């Protein structure tokens, strides 16, 4: 199995490094292409992957191609890619909002397509991705995509009708969490902590809470109850958050982001 990556920007490079780190592919099994030639040369020099030269070369050197250029470049790139990439090869697209039916429409025949919604944390190996298959994608195609995106974090399989929900939750989610971190930092500063110390405590608090939720697999409400002693400090703080409607605001934020994703994709 050989992998091609079309567009090695933030996401493309993160995926490239992830699959190499996980040893899913050897460097000589991976070809890359990007209009930013110095970037391609730098990555090929550093990682030992192949420079495909152009889209035709990429298709020739790949059994599966990951489309990791911008969504607005799809109409320009896909016709050329479709001329050279034929079934039973596979197209995996991370272009936000671009539906599998749109991608399939560029190809003649029954082209297997897998659509992925990754998130920015893939760049630090802790991404949250969801994948869905197009009309001609089979189990083995989803399995390959799943393994690729697990090399840069976690990955779930969903129906395509849920991709806007995923965009609202895990696509926009890092920004929502950054806002929480920012709030914690400001609170620390307000209470007299140095900014550096406040940020360090805020970041580690979010990281530690997330890691506890991941490792224990417990419902967050159970974890929350465990650290909330009767009449204590945490109970006092939680009351303020609930009074301010933070939980409802988070739900509305994710819903609003999902609605916006739907608007942008239609």
Segment interacting with ligand NAP (CB under 6 A) among 9-17, 58-66, 230-238, 251-259: 9-17
Q: Is 51 in the site for ligand NAP (CB under 6 A)?
A: no
For ligand NAP, the binding residues in 80-109 under the rule CB under 6 A are: 94-96
φ and ψ of 221, to 5 deg:
-65, -35
Segment contacting ligand NAP (CB under 6 A): 32-40, 58-66, 101-109, 231-239?
Answer: 32-40
| Phi/psi at 200 (5° precision) | -60, -45
Residue list 211-250, contact with ligand NAP (CB under 6 A): none
User: Do the strands 30-33 and 3-6 form a parallel or antiparallel pair, or are they unpaired?
Assistant: parallel
CA distance 216 to 223: 9
Is residue 120 close enough to count as binding ligand NAP by CB under 6 A?
Answer: yes
In this structure, the strands spanning 113-117 and 127-133 are antiparallel
**69 is a contact residue toward ligand NAP (CB under 6 A):** yes
Cβ distance to ligand NAP smaller for residue 81 or 90: 81
What is the C-alpha separation between 50 and 70, in angstroms, rounded?
Answer: 22
Instruction: Establish if 77 lies at the interface with ligand NAP (CB under 6 A).
Output: yes
**Dihedral sign computed on CA atoms, order 235, 239, 240, 244:** positive
15 scored as a contact of ligand NAP (CB under 6 A): no
Residue 143's contacts (CB-CB under 8 Å, 6 or more residues apart) are none
Alpha-carbon Rg for the chain, nearest whole angstrom, is 21
7 or 112: CB nearest ligand NAP: 7
Q: Is 265 in the site for ligand NAP (CB under 6 A)?
A: no
Q: Which of 171, 172, 202, 258 binds ligand NAP (CB under 6 A)?
A: 171
CB of 170 to ligand NAP, least distance (A): 9
CB of 242 to ligand NAP, least distance (A): 31
Q: Which is nearer to ligand NAP, 11 or 148 (CB)?
A: 11
Q: Considering the rule CB under 6 A, would residue 79 count as an interface residue with ligand NAP?
A: no
Tell me if 169 contacts ligand NAP by CB under 6 A: no
Within the chain, residue ranges assigned H as helices are 10-21, 37-47, 55-60, 74-84, 100-104, 139-150, 163-166, 173-190, 195-216, 220-226, 233-243, 246-265
Q: Is 113 a binder of ligand NAP (CB under 6 A)?
A: no
Specify the 3-state DSSP secondary structure of 32: strand
Binding residues for ligand NAP, rule: CB under 6 A, are 6-12, 33-36, 68-71, 73, 76-77, 94-96, 117-120, 171
């Amino acid at each position: 199995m050989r992998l091609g990556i079309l567009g090695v920007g933030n996401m493309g490079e993160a995926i490239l490094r992830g699959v190499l780190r996980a040893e899913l592919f050897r460097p000589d099994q991976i070809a890359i292409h990007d209009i930013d030639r110095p970037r391609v040369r730098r990555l090929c020099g550093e990682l030992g992957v192949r420079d495909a030269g152009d889209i035709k070369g990429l298709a020739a050197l790949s059994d599966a191609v990951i489309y990791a250029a911008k969504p607005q470049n799809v109409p320009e790139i896909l016709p050329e890619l479709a001329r050279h990439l034929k079934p039973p090869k596979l197209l995996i697209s991370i272009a936000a909002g671009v539906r599998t039916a749109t991608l399939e429409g560029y190809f003649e025949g029954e082209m297997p397509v897998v659509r992925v919604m990754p998130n920015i944390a893939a760049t630090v190996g802790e991404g949250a991705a969801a994948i869905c298959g197009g009309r001609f994608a089979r189990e083995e195609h989803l399995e390959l995509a799943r393994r690729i995106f697990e090399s840069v974090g976690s990955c779930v399989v969903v129906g395509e009708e849920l991709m806007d929900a995923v965009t609202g939750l895990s696509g926009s989610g890092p920004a929502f969490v950054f806002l929480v971190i920012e709030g914690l930092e400001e609170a620390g500063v307000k209470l007299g902590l140095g900014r550096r110390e406040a940020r360090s405590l805020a970041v580690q608090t979010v990281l530690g809470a997330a890691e506890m939720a991941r490792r224990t697999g417990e419902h967050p409400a159970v974890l929350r109850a465990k650290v909330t002693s009767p009449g204590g400090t945490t109970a006092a703080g939680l009351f303020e958050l609930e009074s301010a409607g933070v939980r409802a605001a988070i739900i509305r934020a994710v819903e609003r982001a999902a609605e916006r994703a739907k608007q942008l994709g239609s």
